[in-house]
């Protein structure tokens, strides 16, 4: 990778300048934090899922948006895709090691939020 305004070296470490508009890491962060990217990563935390199972687990997502989201996450190396040559083809998705590393804090964040909301709801009950 060429050193430029979006990529700097500081000693032995390298880092991307994510606030620069041309930073390649910025696009990946966009895929992860997109409306549906977060839910895909959380859904795949525990099991590999076929396309229709993933669609069913994420309420409100259209097939088109799921396909687009998965395409970006696969290109980023966060999700793997396996196609089995059956009729119709069976497509299964799962998290790569990198995807698990990125998705784990998202699932933890979701867990913290839902725990807090559950506690607040319990406090409101008479």
DSSP code per residue over the chain: ---BTTEEEETTEEEE-TTSTT-HHHHHHHHHTSTTHHHHHHHTTT--EEHHHHHHHSTT--HHHHHHHHHHHHHTTSEEEEEE-SSSPEEEEEE-HHHHHHHHHHHHHHHHHHHHHHHHHHHH--
- Report the range of poorest mean pLDDT among 16-25, 49-58, 88-97: 16-25
Q: What is the mean pLDDT of residues 78-87?
A: 95
Q: What is the mean pLDDT of residues 38-57?
A: 95
Residue 8: which pLDDT band, with cuts at 50, 70 and 90?
Answer: low
Confidence at residue 4, expressed as pLDDT on a 0 to 100 scale: 47
Residue 2: which pLDDT band, with cuts at 50, 70 and 90?
Answer: very low
Q: Which two tokens stand for residue 98?
A: 């990198």
Confidence at residue 65, expressed as pLDDT on a 0 to 100 scale: 97
In terms of Cβ atoms closer than 10 Å to its own Cβ (0-12, 13-18, 19+), residue 78 is buried
pTM assigned to the model: 0.77
**What percentage of the chain carries pLDDT values higher than 90?**
59
């Amino acid at each position: 990778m060429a050193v430029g305004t979006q990529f700097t070296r500081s000693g032995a470490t390298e880092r991307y300048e994510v606030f620069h508009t041309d930073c390649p890491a910025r696009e990946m962060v966009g895929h992860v934090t997109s409306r549906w990217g977060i839910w895909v990563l959380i859904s795949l935390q525990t099991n590999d899922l076929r396309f229709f199972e993933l669609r069913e687990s994420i309420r409100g997502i259209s097939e088109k948006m799921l396909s687009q989201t998965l395409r970006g996450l696969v290109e980023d190396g966060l999700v793997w895709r396996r196609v089995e040559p059956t009729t119709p083809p069976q497509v299964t998705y799962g998290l790569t090691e990198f995807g698990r590393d990125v998705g784990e804090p998202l699932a933890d964040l979701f867990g913290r939020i839902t725990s807090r909301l559950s506690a607040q709801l319990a406090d409101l009950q008479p």
